[in-house]
Amino acid sequence: MEPANNRFSMSLAFERKNRWQRILYRYRFMNEELEALYQRYIYGSRLSSVVALLVLFILLTATIGILNFIFVSHITVKNVYCMAQCGISVLLLVYIHTKFMQQTHLLPVTCIIWVLCLSFAIVALPVDFGDPPDTQYTPAAGVWQITLTIFLVYSLMPLKIYVSIITGLLLPVTHSLIVIFFVQQTHWLLWREITANVIIFLAVNVTGIFVHDRCEHAQRRAFMDTRNCIAARLEMEEENEKLERLLLSVFPQHVAMEMKTEILTPHENLFHNVHVQKYDSVSLLFADLVGFTSISAQCTAQELVKILNELFGKFDDLAQDNECLRVRVCGDNYFSVCGLPDAREDHAASCVQLALDMVNLISELREATEVDLNLRVGVHTGSVVCGVIGTKKWHYDVWSDDVITAGHVEACGVPGRVHISQTTLEHLHGAFDVEPAHSQDSDPYMKSRNMDTFFVINNKPRKSSSLLRNKSNSTKAHSLKNIASPVVRLMSALRFSAEIPFTQVYQTLLDGNQIKPGEKIRKSAKKRGTASLQRSGTDRVNSQLSQAIATRTLRKDKRQQVNPFTLRFKKSHHERMYQHREDSSFATSMLCCLVTLVCAATLQAVVLPRTLLLLVLFLVTFSWVATLLMMVLGNKMRCVRCSIQRSSSLRLCIMLITILLIHAMAQVNVFCCKGGKLFTSKAIELGSNPVISFHHDEHLVCEMPEYIFLAGVLGYLVIIVFLKLAALIKLLLMLLMMAGYLVVMEYSHAGLFTKFDELSVPDIPTHIKGIVAMISFLLTLYMHGRHQEWTYRLDFLWKNQATEEKIEIAEMQNNNRHVLCSLLPAHVAAHFIDMHHRTHMDLYSQAYFRVGILFASIANFPGFFSEMSHEGKSVDCLRLLHRLIAGFDELLMEDRFRYIDKIKTSGTTYMAVVGLRPDKIIQDTEESITNHLSTLLEFYFALRSKVQNFNETHGFSFSLRAGAHMGPAVAGVIGAKQPQYDIFGSTVNIANTMENTCRPDYLQVTEEIYRPMYQRYDFQSRGLMMLKHRGQTNTFYVVGRKAAGPSQVSMPNMSTIQWREAGVQLRNSNKRSSFTSS
């Protein structure tokens, strides 16, 4: 999955050779597919802007047309054009809302509207288009129409920035040239008006470019946040599926779903529930690879794990074909069950058929390689309680007396034959031919149970298997028999097509092809695989985004969370979070505001009264804005600690004060125009007291009243540069401004406009034009403000959702890691979690020169379980065992036992190993050996204390029996279906034997543990014991920690090398001694 990146990266911009093209296309995505998706994503937003523009033009042209009919006695070109444009706009609006409108039609429609905008501005130019003969054109004629057109092109029309810039330059230049060459005006007054026009055009272009740039930035950021949210959602779904696959790869489906539900609904005791269930009639299969122990002694770690994974992988395939469930593997033992989780009437027949298939498979391998390898299988039928116990190293297991019986049926069987019990025979209903096995003569357990057993006669044709490679090549098969090493023969004969553990969980597609099991990916291939994985993740995200765009669900879901009138979020906490977001464009807005302030003040000074009050207000406002800019810049340079961008309330106050100061500068200065009702030529009076007196009023003359409402338009632009200001607040501020200018035009200085109209004879009265102009700008800026605010709020919603989903992803990933670490040791889990190893589809195996192994079991729990089962409380008994094992698992969380790894729980036996961690292996030094073994022995004492405390708390009398040994071992993960981490080698068998032959409440160890630890702990010699594949071995009981005084058995202090030599001599002498036991 492609990593989701919340941050909108400007590095996605095109790399253009031409510097100007880099500027004009700096927001365009490098990826053409991503750019095409963005164009589809933004289509709805752009269409709504075009609709708003058409509605505005319909209202504006209809209003102007009606006014022309009212004030002009005959039909004019302007009147006809306005009505024609109104009609065309209506037709375009209707067409847009029909089913014929497509995304590809947006550009032609936009071009038509652009032409209409240009025509609207051209018709308003001070040129004779059949106007009344007495009309006098002024330099201000058409300025507000051109200003409106330029702003509309920048803000509401989906055009490229260079088209908008060209339009913003072309129209002012055309207007200025026409004014210079065709408008008759006093020379000194003409240049003042041209200067004023240039200032207005400059202000609207600067504001338009700023708004267009920020709007494009916000839209693309919202798109990226939308895409990131979808990517996060897909990643969360993938993690959810990964969790499910992970659980299903280890547990049966019904248990996996229960555990998944528990994980996805976290609570205080997460991973502490026990999932148990009872089944009254199932068949149990135990199988043992006879002869594999001697073969494994000649294998490397990789060869051992590879061979076992292949054999058990084939066993798993056969189990699946016969609808059986593999429960566990233990070394070279295989345990399967049939009849759960779904009950089956033919479970015994299916289990026996699986046993026959497994025997045939090994027979085929033995015949092809002549390796002394065989399979002994036992099948028994009975009831079980199954589930998952403990909080670490989970695995699905079954418990009952019948499980123990099935183990004995296998143990007293014959290699190459399927040995079944009387109960299984009764459930076969004659499906197989059998013969008596007479196992009571050789097995005391069978004799004590008075149980008859039978061998299944394998008289059915052998099924073909895919275990061997080149089966048809007899020459090659014959050559294998001439190879001396059985390991080489096995490695050469096996096909090695079994799946790798956790392949279904972590395997991905590389270059469109699935990685073959066992295939090693070279370094270059890993790079290609990583790039392909990223492309695959990108394609998936883009495909999902494309589908969401096509169904138009992206914005619909978000609109339901917003009040359609105020645009405020319906959820109060969302609104608080949105308001407290930092405004990244605040500094740029203030800079743009400063430019607009200078333009407004210059306009006032050029064509409107030049008063001392104007200068004072300008200096105050300029100082205010400049100070704020310096504070923002100082904060970015880390010279100023206070950040005014982060506080929403402070930011709002600053914006309102700035807008009102600029408005006050322009509004108060307009009131100073000569000829107003509120002021005399000699004094400004408030009541009967003069406030400001003037002795020379030439500078108060307003020869050009048209620039009064144009100054108001310029004041509007100050509001629009604050992009994060709410649209409703902008509307209220603009209404306040318009009210002030209406007072000027309709009351205080109405005579000024009347005298101007008498001289210029306009087609529509100037004050009416001013009202229309200010209302048009008010509606335009409000619609743009709503559009911009919706974009920012949409961006916030997507970013917030992506953040929340990323938190959920992190929790899910932690859960997945927790699950994996509950199945495997941490360093082994890292092998499968790390991406580098995910593409390296090799089996995990690791050889250790020495590890310390501890087996501990609740000695009298089987008898307790048998009694409880007869009372129908087997499930409660298993819950009790879960509490004991969970208590053992809690010890592993203690810092002193952090280097001990739990391997598994088998029945009531707990297996723990020290020395597996790569950073804490047992070195060939006395200090390392004694420290690790001390940790292992202390862990035994902690286990015994847990059992004692449990007995005291609940009134039981359970006893702990344990055995330990140190030696070489091989660790690996085996099986794609229900992968299991295990330890292999004779060291495991010896440690297990130490536990099986130990007395309750004791720990039995070999001389490999006694020799380095006799100075730290008290030991009691048990004597010599005959061990399989080892001979007679001296064993010891660990009595306790070393106390003052001589130990019961002492040994001189020797170096590690001397210990090793003494051990060899001791073993040689033990072989000549007879077996004794205490």
> Quick check: 1055 pLDDT over 60?
no
Listing DSSP states for 27-85 in one string gives TSBSSHHHHHHHHHHTHHHHHHHHHHHHHHHHHHHHHHHHHHHHH-SS--HHHHHHHHH
> Quick check: 802 pLDDT over 60?
yes
Q: What pTM did the predictor assign? A: 0.65
Q: How far apart are CA 299 and CA 306, in angstroms?
A: 10
> Quick check: 842 pLDDT over 90?
no
> Quick check: 227 pLDDT over 70?
yes
On whether the CB atoms of residues 967 and 987 are closer than 8 A, the answer is yes
Predicted confidence band at 1002 (pLDDT cuts at 50, 70, 90)?
A: very high
Kindly report the CATH class assigned to 271-501.
alpha beta
Of the listed ranges 169-183, 236-250, 702-716, 979-993, the least confidently predicted one is 236-250
Predicted confidence band at 12 (pLDDT cuts at 50, 70, 90)?
A: very low
On whether the CB atoms of residues 1049 and 1019 are closer than 8 A, the answer is yes
From residue 745, alpha-carbon distances to 26, 563, 634, 681, 771 in Å are 45, 36, 43, 19, 9
Of the listed ranges 79-83, 585-589, 1058-1062, the least confidently predicted one is 1058-1062
Of the listed ranges 622-626, 821-825, 954-958, the least confidently predicted one is 821-825
906: its two tokens? 């088998």
Mean local confidence (pLDDT), 312-337 = 88
Mean local confidence (pLDDT), 337-347 = 88
Q: What is the reported pLDDT for 783?
A: 92
Percent of all residues in the chain with a pLDDT value above 70, rounded to a whole number: 80
Selected residue with higher pLDDT from 335 and 506: 335
CA 448 remoteness from chain centre: 60
Q: What is the reported pLDDT for 552?
A: 61
Mean local confidence (pLDDT), 417-426 = 93
On whether the CB atoms of residues 1032 and 992 are closer than 8 A, the answer is no
Per residue in 702-723, pLDDT tens? 778 888 889 889 989 999 999 8
Kind of pairing between the strands at 900-906 and 275-290:
unpaired
> Quick check: 1016 pLDDT over 70?
yes
Q: What is the reported pLDDT for 185?
A: 63
From residue 974, alpha-carbon distances to 320, 335, 690 in Å are 17, 14, 100
Predicted confidence band at 651 (pLDDT cuts at 50, 70, 90)?
A: confident
Mean local confidence (pLDDT), 233-262 = 72
CATH fold, domain 844-1002, is: Alpha-Beta Plaits (3.30.70)
Selected residue with higher pLDDT from 884 and 267: 884
Half-sphere exposure of 878 (CA within 13 A, CB side): 26
Q: How far apart are CA 897 and CA 1010, in angstroms?
A: 21
Mean local confidence (pLDDT), 308-334 = 87
Listing DSSP states for 306-365 in one string gives HHHHHHHHHHHHHHHHTT-EEEEEETTEEEEEES-SS--TTHHHHHHHHHHHHHHHHHHH
Percent of all residues in the chain with a pLDDT value above 90, rounded to a whole number: 30
Four-CA torsion 54, 59, 64, 66, nearest 10 degrees: 130
On whether the CB atoms of residues 953 and 920 are closer than 8 A, the answer is no
Predicted confidence band at 192 (pLDDT cuts at 50, 70, 90)?
A: confident
> Quick check: 775 pLDDT over 90?
yes
Nearest 5°: phi and psi at 1004? -100, 130
Predicted confidence band at 24 (pLDDT cuts at 50, 70, 90)?
A: low
Mean pLDDT, rounded, of the chain: 80
CA–CA–CA angle 991, 992, 997 (5° rounding):
100
Of the listed ranges 282-286, 442-446, 889-893, 962-966, the least confidently predicted one is 442-446
Query: Helix H segments across 186-323?
Result: 187-248, 253-264, 292-296, 301-321
Selected residue with higher pLDDT from 322 and 1044: 322
> Quick check: 1076 pLDDT over 70?
no
Q: What is the reported pLDDT for 203?
A: 94
Q: What is the reported pLDDT for 31?
A: 79
Q: What is the reported pLDDT for 171?
A: 94
Per residue in 507-518, pLDDT tens? 543 333 333 333
Q: What is the reported pLDDT for 1058?
A: 39
Q: What is the reported pLDDT for 532?
A: 45
Mean local confidence (pLDDT), 344-361 = 92
Per residue in 537-568, pLDDT tens? 677 787 777 777 766 665 666 677 888 888 88
Q: How far apart are CA 699 and CA 608, in angstroms?
A: 8
On whether the CB atoms of residues 382 and 402 are closer than 8 A, the answer is yes
Of the listed ranges 284-288, 439-443, 981-985, the least confidently predicted one is 439-443
Predicted confidence band at 527 (pLDDT cuts at 50, 70, 90)?
A: very low
Q: What is the reported pLDDT for 1074?
A: 32
